[in-house]
């Protein structure tokens, strides 16, 4: 495994720390995914109820992420062989094949480098984190959930689609935005527009005009 620096907290706009590690799909190096989006997410442990429900949902949605040119990459402190046993149990129970890589991180090196685990922690019981990493390796969004609350795959897909749409159009995604919905234009802070609008809110809140 690549020696990576411990980070208490990563921020949006920073480059994701690179690493190489074993996974259920072979050796994985994060920087090998440059050129496409990556959803890098951690889960507390294999063979747990909430994590199992999440992995079933993510495996069922894998094609939707692929359509958005996004790779799924999971992380857990459990060993590689525990991962294999768990995904076999998921297959036998739900008929779902978890094909995206699940990385082993028994020493917490990767989790700590990404700030997924508190400094000095001996386990990952508080870890349930999503990192949306763009094709340049830059962290564009982060979401954290507690141990007892499962994540929404629909919200993961929506966030990814919104990030891509904002990049492509230069516009803003409003609250609850879904693919195909209107986006908002970036405000133009100049006095002529501010005083010239009949609607006093229109200069800063206006739908993007399609080109």
Q: Which residues are catalytically annotated?
A: 51
DSSP calls for 101-153: -EEE-TT-HHHHHTT-S-TT-SS-TT--EEEEE-TTSBEEEEEE--TT-PPPH
* The pair of three-digit structure tokens given for residue 171, joined into one six-digit string: 């516009």
């Amino acid at each position: 495994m690549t020696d990576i620096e411990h980070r208490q907290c990563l921020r949006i706009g920073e480059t994701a720390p690179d690493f190489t590690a074993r996974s259920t799909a072979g050796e994985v190096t994060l920087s090998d995914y440059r050129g496409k989006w990556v959803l890098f997410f951690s889960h507390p442990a294999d063979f747990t109820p909430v994590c199992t429900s999440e992995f079933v949902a993510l495996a069922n949605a894998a094609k939707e992420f692929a359509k958005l040119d996004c790779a799924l990459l999971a992380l857990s402190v459990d060993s590689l062989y525990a991962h294999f046993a768990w995904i076999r149990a998921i297959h036998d129970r739900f008929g779902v094949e978890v094909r995206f890589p699940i990385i082993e991180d028994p020493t917490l090196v990767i989790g700590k480098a990404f700030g997924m685990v508190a400094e000095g922690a001996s386990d990952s019981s508080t870890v349930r984190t999503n990192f949306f990493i763009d094709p340049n390796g830059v962290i564009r969004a982060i979401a954290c959930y507690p141990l007892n609350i499962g994540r929404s795959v629909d919200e993961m897909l929506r966030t990814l689609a919104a990030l891509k749409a904002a990049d492509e159009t230069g516009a803003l995604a409003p609250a609850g935005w879904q693919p195909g919905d209107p986006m908002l234009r970036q405000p133009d802070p100049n006095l002529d527009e501010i005083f010239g609008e009949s609607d006093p809110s229109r200069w800063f809140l206006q739908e993007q005009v399609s080109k």
